[in-house]
Structure 1
């Protein structure tokens, strides 16, 4: 039997994968625990900002993602058919003067491949139900998800359950974090009245490297280029859409911007509302929360993913120091701030 990992990370999305990879590059033994056994093909979080690209450089994956992505080098604001403002990202300090657009499945594939090749381990098809901090280690217990193919029990686990143990545990399992619930994390937050209707279509704008913002009386429309001559459109709506139909979104885009998108070219649709949520404590003993598990914000522009990556980068040296026997209380206090 392999010894228990030094760090168990719950959640193998972009944030958990990057944290795992950064830790492996420090020589730390990592186990990723993931509820899903399959991945969505939808583009989802697409925007990678310059500070996050610097972290991806540290992980050694930035070149692969840049090669797979589209560089957004400018922004254009319009209203009523008139140009209001133009922003050139060439003025941004640093070596990366663009926002990189990469579909989330591609980002996850690149990170996962590099994590596994670095010696990381992944346990899939397991939902964590409880977390117990024993003082010198953390026990995480859960159950196999339907269709996971995991049967039986492990030592120390109840019948039909699965148990893991690690010196430290990290919850990177999203806005509905099972780890946050298991440790009883207190949260503050609010729901906003903003609702949006979003979809990906073939790009007909003739602006393959420009983000577009339409400030219209009927509501804001945002648009971002993607690889493969695809474009993300995000339309603010008066209420949350109860059905998502490509023709309806195409009609909204046409009515507000005058731009035609082909409904037949649609490859993703989503309707969502916006809320913010913040845990009162990101660190609970030997358990820490990062990304949306700790602080949920608007998903537009990949903000949550980027902030989660910055969490990961800040946490890695603290974890390495703690595992090496260094005092970590002051560093953890700074991390939480």
Structure 2
């Protein structure tokens, strides 16, 4: 691995040997920090941002993700703040192709990621008040065998932290992944979408609506506060997008229920898929989007990262107790790579189903959706949608 920057100095308490340094203070890094702090472990979280982005991102908390948040005492708060999505329905040209209830498989809870991160940050402050450091840009990483040295810039000053283990939870553009020399392999599944939130005028406050239209999928999901998120497939990135542009796209494909007057600024994104060629090296491991980039269509990425955190928490504790770090991380890698590969395949399937279709292809796709929406396939599909198999 590259060595830490020359001339780095230890300041304040940074000469302390932490049990774990987590790079990235998003939902995955914060959950892992809470889990470790609950065990009484000395954990430090380094977050590059000085304040959280208000940009619209993940909203879906699936049953495994809700259980993970419950491990740090947040399940009741999620239920109180979020909206329960109890069912889903797929249509095309106004005709229902299939519907399913999530009650038996477990409902999905809708809560903006910004609020989820705020909950986790408050919980971490309760467990370890000085664990989270904002404004730290990690620039160097050195695995010394017995421990890892992490160096970075904090407001123009170089800081160095020592830790028994380091976890990179710093997103798809992970600097830790690059510093650790871990490859990043592209996987099938790529598409462009435009997304925005507005008032919910559908009359379906607990239903996920998927419109598999010939011109491309339009999806919508309930949000807290009587609002709704809309996501629409587009052929290429739009040079300029505002509420009116998104409303026009929605109205051209489905009944016009996107109110531009009540909407925030939409965003355009490209869904891509990658998997790290390895999820650990020595005493450094990757988690969440740093380890696997999953299409957000279906809402799997954040929840998949939380399951990474649950297993890492157990394996790191085992490693500290037994002094056998490499075996622990190898078990983590085998388990979580397999789950990530399944999620990538499911997301690629979702994107293919939501792509434009006409003629025979449209008829075949709609027939497949109808088949999947009847027993016994309906129960399997509900289980996959709610991520019970990951």
TM score, norm. by length of structure 1: 0.91
1:40 counterpart residue number: 53
1:142 counterpart residue number: 152
Structure 1: which 5+ runs fail to align?
A: 145-149, 153-160
Q: CA deviation at 1:275?
A: 1.4
What is the CA–CA distance in structure 2 between the aligned matches of 1:119 and 1:13, rounded to whole Å?
16
Equivalences, count: 320
Q: Is the 8 A contact 1:185 1:280 kept in 2?
A: yes
Q: CA deviation at 1:106?
A: 0.5
- CA 1:33–1:193: 2 relative to 1, 3 Å: closer
Q: Is the 8 A contact 2:91 2:210 kept in 1?
A: yes
What is the CA–CA distance in structure 2 between the aligned matches of 1:278 and 1:80, rounded to whole Å?
36
What is the CA–CA distance in structure 1 between the aligned matches of 2:320 and 2:99, rounded to whole Å?
49
1:212 counterpart residue number: 209
Q: Is the 8 A contact 1:43 1:268 kept in 2?
A: no
The structure carrying a bigger helix percent of its residues is: 2
1:333 counterpart residue number: 330
Stretch moving more, 2-11 or 71-80: 2-11
* 3-state SS in 2 of match to 1:300: coil
Superposition pairs for residues 1-337 of structure 1, below 5 Å?
2=13, 3-92=16-105, 97-120=106-129, 121-144=131-154, 150-152=155-157, 161-190=158-187, 192-337=189-334
Q: Is the 8 A contact 2:272 2:295 kept in 1?
A: yes
The structure carrying a bigger strand percent of its residues is: 1
What is the CA–CA distance in structure 2 between the aligned matches of 1:308 and 1:193, rounded to whole Å?
20
What is the CA–CA distance in structure 1 between the aligned matches of 2:103 and 2:319, rounded to whole Å?
40
1:156 counterpart residue number: none
What is the CA–CA distance in structure 1 between the aligned matches of 2:63 and 2:284, rounded to whole Å?
29
What is the CA–CA distance in structure 2 between the aligned matches of 1:106 and 1:85, rounded to whole Å?
32
Structure 2: which 5+ runs fail to align?
A: 1-11, 335-390
TM score, norm. by length of structure 2: 0.79
Q: CA deviation at 1:44?
A: 0.8
- CA 1:132–1:55: 2 relative to 1, 3 Å: same
Q: CA deviation at 1:190?
A: 4.0
Root mean square deviation of aligned Cα: 1.4
Q: CA deviation at 1:78?
A: 1.0
